[in-house]
Each structure stands twice: as structure tokens, then as C-alpha cells.
């Protein structure tokens, strides 16, 4: 069975982030033989004084495969109860990944979370209306993490754009790449400019700075920019915190 797994509001300022916690959860699930997972996508939601969040108000979502949904779900619930940070308000969403299903109601909920202040009651009502294909549960604190968990799962199911967790670092002594080489090495399924327009012609790339891939139009995408007459994966340089 294919699933979307999304968690939100699992951290505090001193703990590991939600994305790392999801990685740990899926790693332990694999060790236990309960399932295996794909890459993690980060979805950003509204920043507003009415919304409590640790640093970014974002949820983390991955795909998963399992032969026993009930056991997998029970494991994820227990994992969050055991490992979520003190003072957090964790939420878990597990959603059936079915290409024949219409996810628009959940996609719409996810888009609302990017522009509106929503409540836990809103999330619970949206999940109930969607039916048995969605599991939504809270695991401590106020449980308000169910809002982002449902929203993130909905956006992932709808193939909405998000940032893939993990930074790619250029290898030493190989600055020059073809697009085919980059795809083979890092799993990029498409290339696009900063406006999202797909780049299909073969271009030589200069890979000298760390970069991040994005989930765009349902595919793992490398965003390319042109600097000094050369095309390169868009640099992602860590900002100094003041």
C-alpha cells in the first residue's frame, strides 16, 4: 500500500527539526520491517501572530510503502509520543496514495493553510469529510499540529510545490556537469528556471555552490540560474543569524 505521511509541530528551539524527526521515524519503520519511504518535502504555511510555531510554520511530508497499514500507523503514533519535543503539539496525517482518487478537498485545505489562520476544528472536520482514506491524530500538547499535518499531506497528494529536504553539495574537483550527469547523480527529473518554466535543451552546468531540489509539478526539479554567462543549480547559501 502506498501512503503519504506528514507530521507537524514536533519540535522546540532546542530539539531536532520536524524533518529530521520524520527521517528518524521512517528509518526506524524500515528497520522494523514496517515500511520504506521516499524523499521528504517541506511545505510552508502562513506566518501570523495568531499561529504558534517554532521557526518556520512548515510541515514535512514523505511517501511510504507498507504491507500493513494498521501496524505502520500504530508505530508512527507511538514514535511521536516517544520522541516529539517537550512543549510541542504534534500532529500526524497518514493518507492513502491513490492516483485514481480526487484529493482536491484536501489540496484546497492545504492552500488555505498557506493564506489563512485555521483551527484544529477545521482540520478535524476536513479529515472527517474526506473519509476513511485519511488518518489524522494528535500526540501531545494542544494537538494543533494536525492542521499542518493534514495540510501538508493534501498539498503533497495534489503535487503542489515544496522544497525537498536536504542540501546537495558539489563534489571536489568536478565543477562541470551535463544535465544528464546531474540527473543521474542527484535524481533530478526535470530542470526549470526561477519562474518554473521547464528547461528541456541540454545545457552545460557549473556546480560550485550547495543547492536544494524542489518538488514542482509532481517531479523532483533542479532550478537553474544563469550567472556570468554560465548555467548553474540555484545556490542555497546559509544565511548568518543575527
Tell me the per-residue pLDDT of 77-117, one tens digit each, with 9 for 90 and over: 999 999 998 888 999 999 999 999 999 999 999 999 999 99
Does 111 share its domain with 156? yes
- Kindly state whether residue 240 falls inside one of the protein's structural domains: no
Predicted confidence at residue 237, as pLDDT, reads: 65
State the pTM of this model.
Answer: 0.90
- The confidence band for 55, taking pLDDT boundaries of 50, 70 and 90, is low
Does 71 share its domain with 143? yes
- Kindly state whether residue 197 falls inside one of the protein's structural domains: yes
Predicted confidence at residue 48, as pLDDT, reads: 65
- What is the domain count for the chain? 2
CA 214 to each of CA 12, 13, 18, 43: distance values in angstroms, whole numbers, following the listed order: 25, 26, 18, 11
* pLDDT score of 10 more than 90: no
Phi, psi of 189 (to 5 degrees): -100, -15
Lowest-pLDDT choice from 52-56, 193-197, 220-224: 52-56
* pLDDT score of 27 more than 90: yes
Give percent of the chain above pLDDT 90.
Answer: 83
Segments forming the whole domain that contains residue 119 = 2-163
Does 41 share its domain with 92? yes
DSSP conformational letter for 67: S
Does 102 share its domain with 152? yes
Does 104 share its domain with 147? yes
Does 134 share its domain with 216? no
Predicted confidence at residue 12, as pLDDT, reads: 78
Three-state secondary-structure class, residue 220 = strand
- 235 and 209 Cβ atoms separated by less than 8 Å: yes
Predicted confidence at residue 52, as pLDDT, reads: 67
Does 200 share its domain with 126? no
- Kindly state whether residue 218 falls inside one of the protein's structural domains: yes
Give percent of the chain above pLDDT 70.
Answer: 95
Question: Which ranges constitute the DSSP H helices of 134-231?
Answer: 145-157, 179-186
Q: Is 41 exposed, middle or buried (0-12, 13-18, 19+ CB in 10 A)?
A: buried
C-alpha cell at 143: 494537538
Amino acid at each position: 500500500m502506498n501512503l503519504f505521511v506528514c507530521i507537524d509541530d514536533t519540535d522546540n528551539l532546542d530539539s531536532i527539526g520536524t524533518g529530521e524527526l520524520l527521517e528518524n521515524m521512517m528509518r526506524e519503520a524500515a528497520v522494523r520491517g514496517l515500511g520504506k519511504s521516499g524523499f521528504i518535502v517541506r511545505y510552508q504555511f502562513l506566518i501570523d501572530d495568531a499561529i504558534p510555531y517554532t521557526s518556520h510554520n512548515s510541515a514535512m511530508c514523505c511517501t511510504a510503502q507498507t504491507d500493513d497499514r494498521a501496524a505502520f500507523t500504530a508505530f508512527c503514533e507511538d514514535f511521536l509520543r516517544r520522541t516529539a519535543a517537550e512543549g510541542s503539539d504534534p500532529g500526524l496525517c497518514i493518507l492513502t496514495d491513490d492516483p485514481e482518487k480526487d484529493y482536491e478537498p484536501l489540496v484546497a485545505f492545504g492552500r488555505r493553510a498557506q493564506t489563512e489562520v485555521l483551527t484544529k476544528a477545521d482540520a478535524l472536520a476536513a479529515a472527517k469529510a474526506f473519509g476513511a482514506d485519511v488518518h489524522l491524530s494528535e500526540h501531545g500538547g494542544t494537538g494543533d499540529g494536525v492542521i499542518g499535518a493534514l495540510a501538508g499531506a493534501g498539498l503533497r497528494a495534489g503535487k503542489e510545490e515544496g522544497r525537498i529536504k536536504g542540501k546537495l553539495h558539489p563534489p571536489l574537483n568536478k565543477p562541470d556537469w551535463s544535465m544528464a550527469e546531474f540527473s543521474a547523480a542527484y535524481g533530478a527529473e526535470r530542470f526549470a528556471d526561477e519562474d518554473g518554466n521547464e528547461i528541456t535543451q541540454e545545457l552545460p552546468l557549473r556546480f560550485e555552490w550547495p543547492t536544494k531540489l524542489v518538488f514542482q509539478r509532481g517531479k523532483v526539479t533542479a532550478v537553474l540560474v544563469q550567472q556570468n554567462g554560465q548555467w548553474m543549480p540555484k545556490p542555497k547559501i546559509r544565511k548568518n543569524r543575527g
